[in-house]
Amino acid sequence: MPYLILLILIIAAIFGPQWWAHHTFRRYSKSRDDIPGTGGELAQHLLMRMHVDTVGVEQTDKGDHYDPTARMVRLSPENFAGRSLTAVAVAAHEVGHAIQHHHKEPLLATRTRLVTLAHWGEKVGAALMFAIPLVTLITRIPQSGLLFFVLGFISMGLATLVHLVTLPVEWDASFNKALPLLKGGNYIVERDERAVRQILRAAALTYVAASLASLLNLARWMAFLRR
């Protein structure tokens, strides 16, 4: 029963922010005639305005994000070609990450390294967890299984550490980069500021929720190994 309660809490922590973020994006995704340009056009304009001319903008089907390796702001089709508050705010948020990279801000660099490390950590951790029954059967030493569990738990747990630096990075991209740009350049009117703040908050939490998905993997393995 305690593990079931823990699993429910973990699922709520993961999917609650994701649901709220997607709901917020949909709520403000309606095209508006008073928005003069698309999200893709705004992203290109903001990059030029901030003299970040080494970064490009393109459409993607893999979700809105900034790729520091390719130096590319990538926007989903609805935000790249859309003229909505969501398109404008999300585009500005991803440009915020490009600005962080351009300024060589250490927190973004740390997150980029951690994401790569966490990706491989999850793979190694899953392999170690999967090998526990086999190793215990071959060696007939229970401690060997425990050792593999600890190593696997630590490896997979690396992914959960990513969110510790993800939230400050995302919050900075939304509220220290994107919002001042949108307000200072008069890209949004005062009556839309509250909605834009909600969208920027949702954009920041999207990555945190994705990072927390690793907790669900750990819970699944713990439940599996208890059988």
Catalytic residues: 94
pTM score, whole prediction: 0.79
Rounded Cα gap, residues 127 and 123, in angstroms: 6
What integer pLDDT is reported at residue 210 of this predicted model? 63
Strands in 65-67's sheet, in edge-to-edge order, are 56-59, 72-75, 65-67
**Token pair for residue 227?**
């059988």
Q: What pLDDT is stored for residue 18 in this prediction? A: 78
CA–CA separation, 133 and 109 (whole Å)? 38
Provide the 3-class DSSP secondary structure of residue 112: helix
Q: Which two tokens stand for residue 65?
A: 């994000």
Residue 4: CB atoms within 10 Å: 9
Alpha helix segments (H runs only) across 28-53: 39-49
What is the full DSSP assignment across 64-110?
Answer: SEEETTTTEEEE-HHHHS--SHHHHHHHHHHHHHHHHHHTT-HHHHH
pLDDT at residue number 35:
94
Question: Mean pLDDT per segment of 10 residues, for the chain of length 227 residues?
Answer: 69 76 95 94 97 96 93 97 97 97 91 75 68 68 65 69 78 96 93 97 80 61 55
In whole angstroms, give the CA distance from residue 103 to residue 99: 6
pLDDT at 3: 63
79 in Cβ contact with 63 (< 8 Å): no
pLDDT in the model for residue 89: 98
At 28 the pLDDT is: 97
